[in-house]
């Protein structure tokens, strides 16, 4: 996998642990939501070094209550037709004020990158072919939008009214 963050390819500084892996004393790690729910009382780690990988079946009310404990939340896109992670990202940003990294994982598609970004996702795990297919261009293919989003870019109705 390749990691895109800040509209560029970057090295992934996070170590992704399986549920059976011991928690290292230091370093940025992600753990599953299931592990978090079982071990949350015993995990003493700086916020910047803890990431949660959440399934798209967990409600944002439950996630939002724990968002202050982590610096990264990885939202899952299991298949093309399942967009619940779009909503999770948007609600985490707008209603819970989460300012850490929200990372798209799973079936991340080039055609959805810009929409994911508009919902508040700021990092994307993409397939290796992204390097040769120019996925970075997807972020700027559209410049007019019909709806407001987490990225605060003005939408057409505001532009027409002269209120950017």
Rounded alpha-carbon distances, angstroms, from residue 46 to 15, 17, 67, 127, 149: 15, 16, 13, 30, 30
In sign, the C-alpha dihedral spanning 4, 92, 105, 107 is negative
CATH class of residue range 2-161: alpha beta
Ordered by start, the domain boundaries in the chain are 2-161
- Note the pLDDT tens digit of each residue in 74-122: 999 999 889 999 999 999 999 999 999 999 999 999 989 999 998 999 9
**What pTM, to 2 d.p., does this model score?**
0.86
d(CA 104, CA 3): 10
143 has pLDDT over 90? no
Average pLDDT, rounded, for the chain: 89
Q: What b-and-e string marks burial along 71-100, b requiring 16 or more CB atoms within 10 Å of the CB?
A: bbbbbbbeeeeeebbbebbbbbbeebebeb
């Amino acid at each position: 996998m390749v990691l895109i963050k800040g509209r560029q390819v970057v090295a992934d500084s996070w170590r992704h642990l399986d549920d059976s892996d011991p928690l290292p004393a230091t370093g940025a790690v992600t753990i599953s939501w299931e592990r978090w729910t079982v071990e949350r009382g015993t995990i003493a780690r700086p916020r910047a070094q803890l990431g949660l990988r959440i399934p798209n079946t967990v409600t944002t009310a439950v996630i939002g209550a724990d968002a202050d404990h982590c610096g990264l939340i990885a939202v899952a896109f299991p298949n093309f037709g399942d967009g619940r992670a779009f909503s999770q990202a948007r609600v985490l940003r707008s209603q819970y004020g989460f300012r850490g990294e929200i990372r798209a994982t799973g079936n991340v598609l080039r055609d959805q990158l810009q929409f994911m970004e508009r919902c508040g996702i700021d990092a994307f795990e993409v397939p290796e072919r992204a390097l040769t297919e120019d996925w970075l261009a997807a972020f700027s293919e559209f410049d007019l939008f019909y709806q407001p989003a987490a990225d605060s870019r003005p939408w057409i109705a505001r532009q027409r009214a002269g209120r950017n």
